[in-house]
Amino acid sequence: MKFFIDTAEIAEIREASAQGLVDGVTTNPTLIATSKRKFKDVLLEICEIVKGPVSAEVVSTDCEGILREARDLAKLRDNIVVKVPLIAEGLKAVKTCAEEGIKTNVTLCFSPTQALLAAKAGATYVSPFVGRLDDVSENGMALIQQILTIYRNYELKTQVLVASVRHPGHVVEAAMMGAHVATVPFKVLQQLAKHPLTDLGLARFLEDWKKVPQ
């Protein structure tokens, strides 16, 4: 399973890259706003660090506007993937992007039918938001299983990008289901490496090492 990092913070991207955990990056308007920097400045700096796919989201909601933004973003760097909302106008734009060779990440997916439509439109990735479904008492990971089953049934090429990941359990389930990618916040990426028995074991080894004649 590929790991993308879900952030626009350069320091987080650098640190996680050094740990070998960044196959790509996803951003969204909220994450860009949190960085307090200009959209394209952040995007280009991210692309300097990460050569894998970097998702950049459009803010238009009509097909023409989405396409204008998509073409503009795709021109910036080869590895930019245009993030498009899962609405009817978005699907129309995704179809044209596919025809023009522009990679897309169809975002804000909350149902298996939406995911099926994204794949039929030619999306490169679909982003189901598992955490936000859990937040409203639905089962985010059950949606991932449904989408993977549907895509496998018809050999659809769109990759399932598990988004809105909130804890390591989401990552474990995504990997067990065979999801193509999980986009994970920095904090959760760090949690993945943690185990109390590792810390206890290491402390004991280091303590015992002091008894060894040097």
**Positions marked catalytic:** 83
Contacts (CB under 6 A) with ligand G3P, residues 20-59: 26, 28
Closest residue to ligand G3P, based on beta-carbon distance: 164
Task: Please say which residue, 86 or 96, places its beta carbon nearer to ligand G3P.
Answer: 86
Least separation in angstroms between residue 19's CB and ligand G3P is 19
Verify binding: residue 151, ligand G3P, rule CB under 6 A.
no
- Residue 85, CA distances (Å) to 107, 133, 141, 159, 187 in order: 5, 16, 20, 16, 25
Helix (H, G, I), strand (E, B) or coil at 27: coil
Task: Please say which residue, 8 or 93, places its beta carbon nearer to ligand G3P.
Answer: 8
Which residues have a Cβ under 8 Å from the Cβ of 74 and sit 6 or more positions away? 80, 82, 97, 102, 103
Query: What angle (nearest 5°) sits at the alpha carbon of residue 57, between those of residues 133 and 193?
Result: 60
Least separation in angstroms between residue 212's CB and ligand G3P is 47
- Binding ligand G3P (rule: CB under 6 A), the pick from 170, 183, 188, 189 is 183
Type and span of the H or E element at 73: helix 63-76
Helix (H, G, I), strand (E, B) or coil at 86: coil
- Segment contacting ligand G3P (CB under 6 A): 16-24, 114-122, 127-135, 204-212? 127-135
Q: How far is Cα 192 from Cα 171, in angstroms, rounded to an integer?
A: 9
- Binding ligand G3P (rule: CB under 6 A), the pick from 29, 52, 131, 168 is 131
| Contact residues for ligand G3P, defined by CB under 6 A | 6, 26, 28, 129, 131-132, 163-164, 183
